[in-house]
Every structure is written in C-alpha cells, then in structure tokens.
Amino acid sequence: MNTLVAVAIAPVGTNDELASQVAEIVKVIRDSGLPNRTTSMFTEIEGPWDEVMAVVKEATSVLTDKGIRTEVVLKADIRPGHENTLNTKIDKVNDIIGNPNA
C-alpha cells in the first residue's frame, strides 16, 4: 500500500538553532533508500506503509535515544495502486498552471 508522508521531527526545549539535529534526522531518512524530498519545513517520504513508518520511527530515535524530548508532526496520504506520488502530484499542478519546470 503506497504511502506518502510529510514529517517534521524536531527536538523540544533544546536551543534556537536546530540544523545539526535536523541534519542527523534527514540523514537517516535519506539513507533509508526510500524516495524522499526535504523542504524547509518537512521531509516527504514515499513507499510501503510499514517501510515508511519504520523510517519515521528510526529518524525519531535519533533524538529520543539521546533522551531528548521530541515533537513529530506527520501527515499521510495512503493511496493504494499508485506510485511516485512524490513527483506526480507536483507535475499535475505544474501542468495545469503551465509551468512544468517550476
């Protein structure tokens, strides 16, 4: 069952600059081998439900294993029978507005 998630995993109560901790989390996601894309607010991950959720759990553990309170914001689009929705959703919108390379 294809699943596309947008996830934000961040430490709570540490300091103002989170880039180094977020980088550790993103590395786990990128090393998973699942299709993914990171933006300024979320990382999207696509694949089978169990695999995607296992990556979210492992990425969250980057902080929790250090005893850091962690906030996870997750939105999921579960669409059986579809693949590559990470890209096709954006492609469809760009085609409609006439800007396919945006």
Could you tell me the residue ranges of all domains in the chain?
2-97
50: phi then psi, degrees, rounded to nearest 5: -60, -40
Does domain 2-97 bear CATH number 3.30.70.260?
no
Residue-level pLDDT at 13: 81
For the chain, what percent of residues have pLDDT higher than 70? 96
**pLDDT of residue 72 exceeding 70:** yes
Looking at the predicted structure, is the pLDDT value of residue 101 above 90?
no
Q: Which tens digits make up the pLDDT trace of 5-54?
A: 999 999 998 777 889 999 999 999 999 999 999 999 999 999 999 999 99
Provide the pLDDT for residue 23.
96
Residue reference for tokens 């990425």: 59
CB-CB neighbours of 62 under 10 Å:
21
